[in-house]
Structures are given as structure tokens and as C-alpha cells.
Amino acid sequence: MQLTINGKNHIYSGDGEMPLLWYLRDLQGLTGTKFGCGAGLCGSCTVHLDGAAMRSCQLPMSSVEGQSVTTIEGLSADGEHAVQRAWREHGVAQCGYCQSGQIMQAAALLAETPKPSDEDIDAAMAGNICRCGTYARIRAAIKAASAAGGRS
């Protein structure tokens, strides 16, 4: 099967049940997408699938044939997506492990809802656990990214 990752075409002929997460990490060496639970409960593995935020641990390779995947590595060429900039300006990250997923989720939110309310933010981000508890700054950074134009 064929799929596109960060703009590059790939051909895969292995176990169709393998979650996209492990294909990205183990077979492609794209380790920015993280493993936190393997059950779609924590959001650490969030990628964009044809633009939509999805949990890659819940996407078997067979289900992503012909689709276009964007990982954290491909979100921007230079780390300067509005969300990434806002994250740094607000010192959001503590251990940083969940933040790839948080950033991907936030970017998808802003792409769809450029001016999210507090309720929109909480609802969109509730699937992404942060054990370090950076939620207050995540909210602030999303608002700042939104104010800065939000999409790129």
C-alpha cells in the first residue's frame, strides 16, 4: 500500500494491523510522534490524517492507504507554526513528551476554529493528557496563537 508522510510517498507491505504510530516511529524513524498508552486515551500519538487530528495508535496501516499523514516533524518547515511559536513564548513544555500531540491537536483546532472559545479549547484538547500539568499554559498559548493568525 502507498501513503504520504510529510509530503513524501512511501510504500508499505507489512502487517496491515500495525498501528501507524509504530510504522512512523520504528520503520520510518520519525520519533517525534510519541507512545503514551496505545489505546487512544492520551493523545501523545496525535498526527494529522488528511488534515484531521487523529490518534495514530488507533490507525492500523490498512486504514490509511492512499492518505496523507502530517507528523510534528512536518507541521512546519522551521518550527515556526504559530502554535509552535506560541508554545515557546509561553514556556508551555515541562518534560515535553506530550507536547507533540498537544501541538498537533491545537493546530488542527485552529485550522478548523480560528477563534476558539475557552469551551472550544477545553473540548478539543481534553483528549490530550499532560501529566506535568501544563494545561493553564496550553490554554494561554492557543489563545495567543489564535490572536496571531493561528494557521501557520
> Does residue 103 touch another protein according to CB under 8 A?
yes
Total residues at interface with another protein (CB under 8 A): 59
> Does residue 88 touch another protein according to CB under 8 A?
yes
DSSP 87-116: HHHTT--SS-TTHHHHHHHHHHHHHH-SS-
Give least dist CB 44 to another protein, A.
6
Instruction: Specify the residue for cell string 493528557.
Output: 129
Give CA separation, 78 vs 40, 53, 67, 73, 84, in Å: 29, 21, 24, 9, 10
Give least dist CB 32 to another protein, A.
2
> Does residue 8 touch another protein according to CB under 8 A?
no
> Does residue 113 touch another protein according to CB under 8 A?
no
Which set of grid coordinates corresponds to residue 58?
A: 488507533
Give dist(CA 151, CA 128) in Å, integer.
Answer: 20
What is the SS3 assignment for 52? strand
| String marking each residue 9-28 x if it binds another protein according to CB under 8 A | ------x-xxx--x--xxx-
Give least dist CB 64 to another protein, A.
14
Q: Amino acid letter at 20?
A: L
> Does residue 97 touch another protein according to CB under 8 A?
yes
b/e sequence 12-35, b meaning 16+ C-beta within 10 Å: beeeeebbbbbbbbeebebebbbb
Q: Which of 16, 112, 122, 147 binds another protein (CB under 8 A)?
A: 122
Q: Which residues bind another protein (CB under 8 A)?
A: 15, 17-19, 22, 25-27, 29-39, 41-42, 44, 71-73, 75-76, 79, 84, 87-88, 91, 93-100, 103, 121-123, 125-139
